[in-house]
Chains A and B, each alone.
Chain A
Amino acid sequence: MREKLQIIAKGPWAYWVGAIVLAILNILVLVVRQEPWGITTNIEEWSVWLAGKLGLTGNPDLTLKELLLSDGTYLNLGVILGAFWATVVASQARFRPLKNKKFAVSALFGGIMMGFGARIAYGCNIGLVLNGIASSSLAGWIFTIAVFLGAWLGGKILLRYLL
């Protein structure tokens, strides 16, 4: 029993265990939320609000209060804090600085490409790959094939310029 608790706390768990636990949690989110788990719609809402505050755009669609009461906000916050908790439980919490300055550039541009791509396609790996396919939606399959090709291209760039 003690050993089992040790593994739950310290990890790592086998990938297939992760897949089954994630499947159950993802279904529970669908039941409670009455719509599937997604990440970037909420990030987009915050970005539009932020841009509005900075004077880059007109009236944002949502007010701060609406954003703070949106379940998407707590889905994203929870993933960050849950992952932090997982490192604390294993006494592994610490700041992990950049290994190399060029990774700052690739993280920034990679992030921008991801955010842009997710919002013109209406989803990310969670909203479109996982939950698009889980919803038997054609868009999920199209996006998944494109992400695979993009990852191949990204791998080429990674090998050529970054590693």
Chain B
Amino acid sequence: MLKKSQSSLNLGFSIFILLFLIFLLQLSTKLALIFALSLALGYTLQKSRFCFVAAFRDPLLVGTTKISQAVILLLIISIPAFFLVFQIASNLHLPIELNVTPFGFHTFLGGLLFGTGMVLAGGCASGTLMRVGEGFAMQMIALGGLIIGAFLGNSSLPYILNIFHEFPGVFLPDIMGWVPAISIQLLVLILLWLGIRKWQKSKRT
């Protein structure tokens, strides 16, 4: 199949991005940096076909675990790296906040709905954004649904918090110390990684 080159579109789009970055730099260095990083995130997600939906869905649905193993690798790198950044920032008295959120039964319920929904929509939040960029009509509809659902979630949260008790966020190092918290989490992830690799091999034979 003869493929048309899109190099002129590429040139035009690159100039547009460059101008937009310069514009953002006038507003704030932080916004420009964040925008540049998220462009790289979108680029990487697309090029590596990285997909959290596939990581959760495919082991049971089709029996492939390559993406699940990659997601576990991502977590294994991120846990100690986040710890380092948090410690360095604290030592330098710089403000930093990790994602330690309160939880309750609604965390579980939300995860269940989110997990089911992402399989039906063919993309989670990051995957939906990525596929909108790739031009998929299906995920453009899913993004519309995501916006509607986020509003519904926002409006129902007060009622949900009336039904389910909410516990304050638990930062694992606070209850067991840094070294055990990080070691136990890494151990769980490494065992999971080895386990699914073994499981996949046994499925193939």
CB contacts (< 8 Å) of A114 on chain B: these are: 113-114, 117-118, 121, 124-125, 128, 142, 145-146, 149
Contact of B78 among A13, A23, A34, A115 (CB under 8 A): A23
A88 to B137, CA, bound (A): 17
**22 A-B residue contacts at CB 8 Å?**
A11-B47, A13-B44, A21-B44, A25-B37, A71-B31, A79-B41, A82-B44, A86-B134, A111-B146, A113-B114, A114-B146, A115-B145, A115-B146, A116-B150, A117-B109, A125-B118, A128-B99, A128-B101, A134-B81, A137-B169, A149-B115, A155-B61
Give the nearest-CB partner of B62 in chain A. A155
Residues in chain B within 8 A of chain A (CB atoms): 3-7, 9-10, 13-14, 17, 24, 27-28, 30-31, 33-50, 52-53, 56-57, 60-61, 66-67, 69-71, 73-75, 77-79, 81-83, 85, 89, 94-103, 106-122, 124-139, 141-157, 160, 169-173, 181-182, 185
- Provide the main secondary structure of the chain A interface: helix
Closest approach, in angstroms, between the C-beta of B141 and any C-beta of chain A? Answer: 4
A96 contacts B110, C-beta separation under 8 Å: no
- The answer to whether A96 and B150 touch across the interface, beta carbons within 8 angstroms, is no
Q: How far is the CA of A1 from the CA of B123 in the complex (A)?
A: 34
CB distance from A160 to the nearest CB of B (A): 12
How far apart are B65's CB and chain A's nearest CB, in angstroms?
Answer: 10
CB proximity of A32 to chain B, nearest CB, Å: 5
**CB <8 Å contact, A127 and B99:** yes
Is A67 among interface residues, defined by CB-CB distance under 8 A?
A: no
CB contacts (< 8 Å) of B126 on chain A: these are 39, 79, 124-126
Q: Which residues of A come within 8 Å of B, CB atoms?
A: 8, 11-23, 25-40, 43-44, 46-48, 50-51, 56-57, 69, 71, 74-89, 91-99, 103-104, 106-140, 142-155, 157-159, 162
Q: How far is the CA of A152 from the CA of B114 in the complex (A)?
A: 12
**CB–CB B138/A107 < 8 A:** yes
Task: Give complex CA distance A92, B131 in Å.
Answer: 13
In the assembled complex, how far is the CB of residue A104 from the closest CB belonging to chain B, in whole angstroms? 5
- Min CB distance, A73 to chain B, in Å? 9
Contact yes or no, B114 A82, CB < 8 A: no
Task: Enumerate chain B residues within 8 angstroms of A104, measured Cβ to Cβ.
Answer: 138, 141
Distance of A41 Cα from B201 Cα, bound (Å)? 39
How distant is B158 from chain A, measured CB to nearest CB, in Å? Answer: 11
Q: How far is the CA of A157 from the CA of B103 in the complex (A)?
A: 28
Q: Is the CB of B85 within 8 A of A143?
A: no
| Pair B44/A85 contact, Cβ less than 8 Å | no
Check A19–B73 contact: CB distance below 8 A: yes
Chain B residues near A28 (CB-CB < 8 A): 37
B117 / chain A contacts, CB cutoff of 8 Å: 109-117, 150, 154
